[in-house]
């Protein structure tokens, strides 16, 4: 067995995981369908199409072909010995979803749902996006498969992820900045749901995470199970043992559930999700839904969410647009309650320290989302010691975050940042000597604030 | 017989359908909201839908979203919905609450039902709750004698129309178009279809909402539905004309409903 993995993407959907929701889509008390009646028929249609497709050799073969020849699966497993020195000597292995076509794990789910869209005979796709990674992946699949693509993105996010807005538009998608509410991912989902209710006959809502009404949490998860299935085989081949712990970032939770799932029945493997701690849980400015939230219904599912005592959704905050969401997938809520997975907050500052460290020590620029998982792995390594093997879901690459990072580390002034969607401002801005934590990264990892 | 049943029986006895008007509680403030809802009742609304402003109103268009945002930014707290129902009921209005379900979940379904009944509320309309997830509400509504209005949609299958109507009491709410709330220029032909498809499955009155803004449209809908439900147009009238604005709109709509007489059942 080589490190290149023999698992096919279709295995994650063809073979049930053994951890299925009940017939109404409930994971314990979570999940289900907390939706307007107007959407039920479309959800039933999707469920039927998925159940048919997952046993259709033609569908499975096409999915595998695309993931092999287009996505570039399997994604590699990378040893990062220099990073490990900063993690108490624990061996850290990165599952490189950042090397997939479009730059993140999101393509796993998007190609699957785009193929389902074709099979349902729908010609128009809508999607929400936070960091823009899911939007880019969706725009990509729609270009490939000749589908009309409309992406809803919070206005705040269109600014902090301007490069991805340009990418989506280059790919032929219509990007609609959402100006309601907190103008971030939550509000983008609201607008996508409003569009879907109106155009449900012609339109598939290509939801980008393991949240939303049944069957989304199940089918998005299944399309991402390939992450863990590959990684499990790769770690066993490389190390001759299972990992001690797995670290993944959790916003909605799609990359985390994708990598966790192959290890759910390995009780010796610790599953740890790292949530956006923002400025710190105690400040109230964070997006750590499982760490600080309570159960409720949002965006079609019962799950943990950040809410006030009247059940109004609280505003989340994170430096990472992709994690800046006050909800989370229902299966994570169940895994938390069962104690099978644990969830810890990572602050902006911790994530950015880890971001800098991975850049400097290993030559890998991670997405800021994924930097939360790297920070978590550093924390776990110090706790578990040099005998530990820690598998990290490096869910995306950081090209899109260069502007945010350059500002954080004081390399460009905030007045020189990319306000337009053309992504040119960084190149034109005055590049300064790195200040503060970035220059120090690699020699020091504890608590450096920019 | 629940309070909502009595409202519909009274309208039927007068040989006409019912006019149902929506306004969010606390819009623009709690006191002004009470005055507006009272004026709507006095102007001819047989039943008032007292809305609960919510942070993520995914079924609502821009008009009602903005109203909810304003109520919330003016400090609306959930308990004010009971105060609103209590004061409007005391002034002679018949109130049901229309709410996204998470505020009810957070408050506690049983506690919400108890407090709503105590305030004089007659029932609840739940636009993002389907009977499949409503076990707790089914029990609490029975216990406290509250009507339960679920929604059917043009996309609903026959089977779902049947099960949704069976789970409902008071009246069934038929959404006449696929889409979010908001006044529209014309009544969609789907409205008649969804009422006709629902009729064989229930003896409950069927109300039609989404898009009505004047007496002419109200008369058209009252020709085939038992209740005409108007929301966004009242919000706009409140913003533009205050209590007198909503009273005038209610009078126009009520005249349209009366003109149409009773629908064939």
The ipTM value here is 0.95
Query: Domains in chain A, start-ordered, CATH in brackets?
Result: 17-71+106-217 (3.40.50.1100), 77-103+225-402 (3.40.50.1100)
Of A33, A39, A180, the CB nearest to B133: A33
Facing residues of A91 across strands? A389
Residue contacts between A and B (CB atoms, under 8 Å): 108
CA–CA distance, A138 with A143 (Å, rounded to integer): 9
CB within 8 Å: A197 and B152: no
Is there a catalytic annotation at residue A395? yes
Identify the CATH class of B3-148+213-258: alpha beta
The C-alpha of A296 sits at a distance from chain B's nearest C-alpha, in angstroms, of 6
Instruction: Tell me which H or E stretch contains A221.
Output: helix A216-239
> Sheet holding A124-129: strands in order across?
A174-178, A148-154, A124-129, A203-205
The C-alpha of B99 sits at a distance from chain A's nearest C-alpha, in angstroms, of 12
Q: Where are the beta strands (DSSP E) in A279-365?
A: 294-298, 300-305, 341-347
CA–CA distance, A408 with A437 (Å, rounded to integer): 9
Of B61, B105, B150, the CB nearest to A311: B105
The C-alpha of A182 sits at a distance from chain B's nearest C-alpha, in angstroms, of 10
Mean pLDDT of B165-172: 98
At residue B225, the pLDDT reads 96
CB atoms within 10 A of CB B257: 27
Could you give the 3-state DSSP secondary structure of residue A317?
Answer: coil
Q: Are B92 and B41 in contact (CB under 8 A)?
A: yes
Cα-based angle A420, A288, A86 (whole degrees, multiple of 5): 85
Is there a catalytic annotation at residue A128? yes
Nearest CA in chain A to B163: A37
At residue A412, the pLDDT reads 81
Query: Which token pair is A438?
Result: 């970035």
At residue A448, the pLDDT reads 34
At residue A166, the pLDDT reads 96
User: What is the secondary structure of B118-175 as a DSSP string?
Assistant: HTT--EEE-TT--GGG-HHHHHHHHHHT-EEE-EE-TT--HHHHHHHHHH--S-EEEE
Q: pTM of the predicted model, to two decimals?
A: 0.93
CB within 8 Å: B155 and A40: yes
Render the burial of B200-219: b for 16+ CB within 10 Å, e for the rest: ebbebbbbbbbbbbbbebbb
Is there a catalytic annotation at residue A318? no
**pLDDT digits 0-9 by tens, B67-119:** 999 999 999 999 999 999 999 999 999 999 999 999 999 999 999 999 999 99
| Alpha carbon A50 to its chain's center | 22
CB within 8 Å: B178 and A201: yes
Residuewise pLDDT in 10s, chain A (450 residues): 444 678 998 999 999 889 999 999 999 999 999 999 999 999 999 999 999 999 999 999 999 999 999 999 999 999 999 999 999 999 999 999 999 999 999 999 999 999 999 999 999 999 999 989 999 999 999 999 999 999 999 999 999 889 899 999 999 999 999 998 889 899 999 999 999 988 988 999 999 999 999 999 999 999 999 999 999 999 999 999 999 999 999 999 999 999 999 999 999 999 999 999 999 999 999 999 999 999 999 999 999 999 999 999 999 999 999 999 999 999 999 999 999 999 999 999 999 999 999 999 999 999 999 999 999 999 999 999 999 999 999 999 999 999 999 999 999 876 555 444 444 443 333 444 444 455 555 444 333 333
User: Which residues of chain A have a CB within 8 Å of the CB of B128?
Assistant: 34-36, 297
Of B78, B104, B156, the CB nearest to A37: B156
């Amino acid at each position: 067995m080589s490190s290149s993995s023999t698992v096919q993407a279709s295995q994650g959907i063809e073979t049930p995981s053994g951890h299925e929701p009940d017939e109404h889509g409930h994971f314990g008390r979570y999940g289900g369908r907390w939706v307007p009646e107007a959407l039920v028929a479309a959800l039933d249609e999707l469920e039927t199409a998925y159940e048919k497709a997952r046993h259709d050799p033609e569908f499975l073969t096409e999915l595998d072909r695309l993931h092999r020849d287009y996505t570039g699966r399997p994604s590699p497993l990378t040893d990062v010995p220099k990073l490990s020195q900063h993690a108490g000597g624990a061996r850290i292995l990165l599952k490189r979803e950042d090397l997939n076509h479009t730059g993140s794990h999101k393509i796993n789910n998007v190609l699957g749902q785009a193929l389902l869209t074709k099979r349902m005979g729908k010609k128009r796709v809508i999607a929400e996006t936070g960091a823009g990674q899911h939007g880019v992946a969706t725009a990509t699949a729609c270009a490939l498969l000749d589908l009309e693509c409309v992406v809803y993105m919070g206005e705040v996010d269109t600014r902090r992820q301007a490069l991805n807005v340009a990418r989506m538009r280059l790919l032929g998608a219509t990007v609609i900045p959402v100006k309601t509410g907190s103008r971030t991912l939550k509000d983008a989902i609201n607008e996508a749901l409003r569009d879907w209710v109106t155009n449900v006959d012609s339109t598939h809502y290509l939801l980008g995470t393991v949240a939303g009404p049944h069957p989304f949490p199940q089918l998005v998860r299944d399309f991402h199970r390939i992450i863990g299935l590959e990684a499990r085989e790769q770690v066993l081949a490389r190390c001759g043992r299972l990992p001690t712990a797995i670290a993944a970032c959790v916003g909605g939770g799609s990359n985390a559930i994708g990598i966790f799932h192959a290890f759910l029945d390995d009780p010796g493997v610790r599953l740890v999700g790292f949530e956006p701690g923002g400025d710190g849980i105690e400040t109230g400015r964070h997006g750590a839904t499982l760490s600080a939230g309570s159960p409720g219904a949002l965006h079609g599912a019962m799950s943990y969410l950040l809410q006030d005592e009247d059940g109004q959704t609280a505003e989340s905050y994170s430096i990472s647009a992709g994690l800046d969401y006050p909800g989370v997938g229902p299966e994570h809520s169940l895994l938390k309650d069962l104690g099978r997975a644990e969830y810890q907050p990572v602050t902006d500052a911790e994530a950015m320290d880890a971001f800098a460290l991975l850049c400097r020590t290993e030559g890998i620029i991670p997405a800021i989302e994924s930097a939360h998982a790297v920070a978590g792995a550093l924390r776990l390594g110090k706790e578990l010691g040099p005998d530990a093997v820690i598998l990290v879901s490096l869910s995306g690459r950081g090209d899109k975050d260069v502007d945010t990072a350059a500002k954080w580390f004081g390399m460009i002034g905030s007045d020189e940042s990319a306000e337009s969607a053309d992504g040119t401002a960084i190149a034109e801005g005055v590049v300064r000597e790195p200040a503060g934590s970035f220059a120090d990264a690699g020699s020091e990892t504890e608590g450096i604030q920019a | 017989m629940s309070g909502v049943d009595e409202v519909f029986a009274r309208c039927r006895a007068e040989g006409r359908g019912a006019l149902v008007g929506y306004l969010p509680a606390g819009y623009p403030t709690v006191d002004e909201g009470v005055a507006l809802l009272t004026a709507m009742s006095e102007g001819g609304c047989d039943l008032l839908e007292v809305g609960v402003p919510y942070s993520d109103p995914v079924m609502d268009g821009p008009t009602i979203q903005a109203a909810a945002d304003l109520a919330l930014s003016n400090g609306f707290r959930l308990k004010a919905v009971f105060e609103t129902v209590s004061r409007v009921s005391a002034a002679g209005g018949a109130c049901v609450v229309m709410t996204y379900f998470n505020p009810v979940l957070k408050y506690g379904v049983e506690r919400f039902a108890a407090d709503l009944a105590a305030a004089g509320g007659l029932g609840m309309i739940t636009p993002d709750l389907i009977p499949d997830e409503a076990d707790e509400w089914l029990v609490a509504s029975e216990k406290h004698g509250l009507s339960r209005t679920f929604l059917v949609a043009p996309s609903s299958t026959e089977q779902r129309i049947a099960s949704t109507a069976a789970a409902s009491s008071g009246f069934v709410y038929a959404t006449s178009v696929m889409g979010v709330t908001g006044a529209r220029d014309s009544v969609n032909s789907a409205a008649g279809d969804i009422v006709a498809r629902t009729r064989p499955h229930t003896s409950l009155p069927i109300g039609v909402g989404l898009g009505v803004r004047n007496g002419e449209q109200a008369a058209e809908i009252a020709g085939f539905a038992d209740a005409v439900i108007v929301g966004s147009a009242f919000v706009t009238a409140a913003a533009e004309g205050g209590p007198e604005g909503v009273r005038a709109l209610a009078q126009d709509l009520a005249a349209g409903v009366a003109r149409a007489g009773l629908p064939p059942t």
